[in-house]
């Protein structure tokens, strides 16, 4: 029985290959506004692509002798769109606690002192907006210092076990149980998750989806991931017992909601569940904006295959740490997604994080702290508009 559904492609093979080229870091070099050098997919050379009145024109044989819009021109056009997206960057600033963390008013007065196990905590109140806060914004209820908590998050998500995190903290003079460490992780991941879910990453038009196996309390589960190919931003995840169409559909919905769009191209291992979910969630509701589902063998490029493999590897290395997972939607996996997107620099992105590549920059030495404190001060995200760079009127 074959009911694998293939929507009519709204994208041609050259455009597809253009996407593949544009997503290889360094393969599209901008010389200036009108001249680009594009790496050949087959040979170790570059082709020059120049902007003209009729669009981008390439010097490769495909363009020269066949008069076609070649994959290199497509790659330039796609990179150009990518640049535009990154220019509309959102900055998540480190929270400065000398002013009011919510409205930034400097009219801040001492309010009261709260006593807890770790000592006295001065509280302030803002004359501007009425917010009451301490300089430990986001960490007030904790009996350890903020740094111990963000270090614990960092160690855990780089692959240390809870017990190793606990040992490390003890060396720093912080005595907590490994159960407490897990509680911190759960608490702060939920807080940050609520915050970042309001931010739309500027992802590209080629996404990739795959499945990983995961042991949760001894049971095998499937972890599905939807990633943007260009920025490596991990858009959505889904954990389930089975791998049917209905098991992956929620991830398609979630990914569209998070990204505020759906991709032109979806690459997968070709499993029919993804094809059917694409048809049911995306195609049937908006056939005019269909997403072409491409099994990765059609693209052939090993770079493409490696991207998901790498995420598989990252998760597998930490699998033993996920033993503590209680429910399929455990904050631990969401935490790993946060770490992957917002904290961890990526070699394939020239040392940027996927969120930076997707136009969301998290400032500060300690990105965990920045995220936690922004989440704690309320829902407002500071958008830095590129207009500010222009002449003021």
Residues that bind Zn ion (CB under 5 A): 58, 60, 63, 70, 72, 100, 102-103, 105, 126, 128-129, 131
Smallest gap from Cβ 84 to Zn ion, in A, equals: 22
Residue 258 and residue 228: Cα distance in Å, rounded? 12
Smallest gap from Cβ 149 to Zn ion, in A, equals: 25
Smallest gap from Cβ 15 to Zn ion, in A, equals: 13
Residue 129 and residue 216: Cα distance in Å, rounded? 45
Q: Name which of 132 and 242 has its Cβ closer to Zn ion.
A: 132
Element holding 216 (H helix, E strand): strand 206-216
Q: Name which of 86 and 131 has its Cβ closer to Zn ion.
A: 131
Q: 61-70: long-range contacts at Cβ-Cβ below 8 A with a sequence spacing of 24 or more? A: 62/14, 68/14, 69/14, 70/14
Which letter does DSSP use for residue 280 in this model?
I
Residue 86 and residue 347: Cα distance in Å, rounded? 18
Smallest gap from Cβ 108 to Zn ion, in A, equals: 8
Q: Name which of 30 and 316 has its Cβ closer to Zn ion.
A: 30
Sheet (strand 55-58) strand order: 28-32, 35-39, 46-52, 55-58
Q: Name which of 38 and 275 has its Cβ closer to Zn ion.
A: 38
Residue count (the chain)? 393
Smallest gap from Cβ 18 to Zn ion, in A, equals: 9
Q: Name which of 22 and 212 has its Cβ closer to Zn ion.
A: 22
Smallest gap from Cβ 69 to Zn ion, in A, equals: 9
Smallest gap from Cβ 37 to Zn ion, in A, equals: 11
Residue 245 and residue 259: Cα distance in Å, rounded? 21
Count of Cβ atoms closer than 10 Å to residue 9 Cβ: 15
Residue 190 and residue 194: Cα distance in Å, rounded? 6
Taking the CA atoms of 214, 220, 224 and 229 in sequence, report the sign of the dihedral they define.
positive
> Bridge partners of 265?
206, 292
Token pair in block for residue 135: 């300089």
Q: Name which of 126 and 155 has its Cβ closer to Zn ion.
A: 126
Q: Name which of 103 and 199 has its Cβ closer to Zn ion.
A: 103
Burial grade of 211 (CB within 10 A; 0-12, 13-18, 19 or more) = buried
Token pair in block for residue 361: 């920059």
Q: Name which of 18 and 359 has its Cβ closer to Zn ion.
A: 18
Smallest gap from Cβ 134 to Zn ion, in A, equals: 14
């Amino acid at each position: 029985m074959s009911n694998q559904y293939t929507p009519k492609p709204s994208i041609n093979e050259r455009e597809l290959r253009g996407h593949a080229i544009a997503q290889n870091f360094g393969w599209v070099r901008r010389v200036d506004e009108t001249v680009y050098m594009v790496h050949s997919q087959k040979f170790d050379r570059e082709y020059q692509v120049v902007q003209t009145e009729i669009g981008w024109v390439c010097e490769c044989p495909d363009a020269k002798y066949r008069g076609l819009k070649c994959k290199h021109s497509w790659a330039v056009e796609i990179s150009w769109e990518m640049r535009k997206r990154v220019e509309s960057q959102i900055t998540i600033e480190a929270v400065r606690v000398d002013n009011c963390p919510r409205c930034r008013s400097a009219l801040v007065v001492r309010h009261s002192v709260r006593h807890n196990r770790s000592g006295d905590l001065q509280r302030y109140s803002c004359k501007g907006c009425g917010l009451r806060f301490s300089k430990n914004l986001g960490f007030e209820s904790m009996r350890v210092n903020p740094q111990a908590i963000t270090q614990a998050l960092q160690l855990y998500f780089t692959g240390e076990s809870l017990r190793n995190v606990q040992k490390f903290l003890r060396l720093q003079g912080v005595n907590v149980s490994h159960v407490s460490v897990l509680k911190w992780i759960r608490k702060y991941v939920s807080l940050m998750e609520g915050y970042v879910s309001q931010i739309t990453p500027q992802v590209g038009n080629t996404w990739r989806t795959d499945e990983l196996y995961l042991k949760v309390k001894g049971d095998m589960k499937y972890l599905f991931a939807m990633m943007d190919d260009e920025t490596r931003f991990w858009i959505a995840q889904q954990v389930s017992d089975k791998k049917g169409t209905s098991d992956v559909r929620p991830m398609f919905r979630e990914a569209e909601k998070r990204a505020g769009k759906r991709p032109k191209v979806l690459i997968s291992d070709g499993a029919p569940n993804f094809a059917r979910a694409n048809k049911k969630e995306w195609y049937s509701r908006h056939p005019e904006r269909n997403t072409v589902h491409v099994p990765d063998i059609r693209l052939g490029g090993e770079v493409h295959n490696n991207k998901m493999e790498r995420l598989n590897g990252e998760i597998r290395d930490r699998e033993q740490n996920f033993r503590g997972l209680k429910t399929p939607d455990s904050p631990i996996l969401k935490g790993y997604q946060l770490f992957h997107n917002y904290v961890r620099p990526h070699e394939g992105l020239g040392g940027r994080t996927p969120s930076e590549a997707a136009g969301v920059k998290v400032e500060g030495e300690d990105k965990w702290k920045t995220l936690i404190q922004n989440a704690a001060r309320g829902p407002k995200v500071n958008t830095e508009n590129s207009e500010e760079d222009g002449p003021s009127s």
